[in-house]
Amino acid sequence: MKRVLLSAAGILACTAIFAQGRTDFPMKPEMTEIWDPQISVITPGETPSNAPSDAIVLFDGQNLSTEWTNNDGTEPGWNVADGCATVKKGAGVIKTKRQFNDFQLHIEWRSPVEVIGESQGRGNSGVFLQGIYEVQVLDNFNNRTYRNGQAGSLYKQHPPLVNACKGPGVWQVYDIIYTAPRFNPNGTFFTPPTVTVLHNGVLVQNHVALRGPTEYIGIPEYSVKPHGAGPIVLQDHGNPVSFRNIWIREL
Ligand code: MG
């Protein structure tokens, strides 16, 4: 109870400080200590890539149909073998059955070991946040393409800060922190969607704001149809890109 009172006093003190920018009474350390509510305790995974205890596992390498469907709601048409799911050309996108707003997403991907094609034609797939905002997946290991379309880009909107690609056939990691947009009544963003991406543990997108849904052609529109929660969608771009160890934490 004493701590609760201290925390309440601390909040009041902080409010006064932030409001005025100064205090006209002597501050004590505990006045800026906030104790409640207590931070939730979770068990981290054995390695940073393993799902923590409060994550929803979207794909464990075995069963894709528990959490995913084709775009039309039928069983996902991708190939599942050797602990991963691989794009089956022509089968189309797969999407999560669940819908998400703000989240932390961990996803591992691997471009084909056999290098075929160049630029956007090599190991192309994508992770669509809420189904409409693409984090590009591409084999950019010794493969030049336009900077705002390479691996780790928010496609056609934000190039990655660096190229952190590993080679073809090597597993790579995206850790994506996403904050969904909030909308004005007229359909414009009150706050746009924002995205932070770590590629193989390296920061490649630092809390960037999106203009609108990903567009292959043309300028993304600020004015979009307001939307609520949406699925994670993985792209079929015709290249046999593989995915594994997909988990998400709703924020
Ligand atoms: Mg793509």
Cα 105 to averaged position of ligand 1 atoms, centre (Å): 17
Instruction: State which amino acid sits at residue 49.
Output: S
Cα 124 to averaged position of ligand 1 atoms, centre (Å): 5
Based on its alpha-carbon atoms, the radius of gyration of the chain, rounded to whole angstroms, reads: 21
Q: Is 175 helix (H, G, I), strand (E, B) or coil?
A: strand
Cα 93 to averaged position of ligand 1 atoms, centre (Å): 11
Q: Is 158 helix (H, G, I), strand (E, B) or coil?
A: strand
**Predicted pLDDT of residue 13:** 46
Cα 53 to averaged position of ligand 1 atoms, centre (Å): 30
Provide the residue-wise pLDDT of the chain in tens; the chain has 251 residues.
444 444 444 444 444 444 444 567 888 888 888 888 887 765 766 666 899 999 999 999 999 999 999 999 999 999 999 999 999 999 999 999 999 999 999 999 999 999 999 999 999 999 999 999 999 999 999 999 999 999 999 999 999 999 999 999 999 999 999 999 999 888 788 999 999 999 999 999 999 999 999 999 888 875 578 899 999 999 999 999 999 999 999 99
Instruction: State which amino acid sits at residue 184.
Output: N
pTM of the model: 0.86
**Predicted pLDDT of residue 222:** 59
Cα 237 to averaged position of ligand 1 atoms, centre (Å): 6
* Domains defined along the chain, listed by start: 34-250 (2.60.120.560)
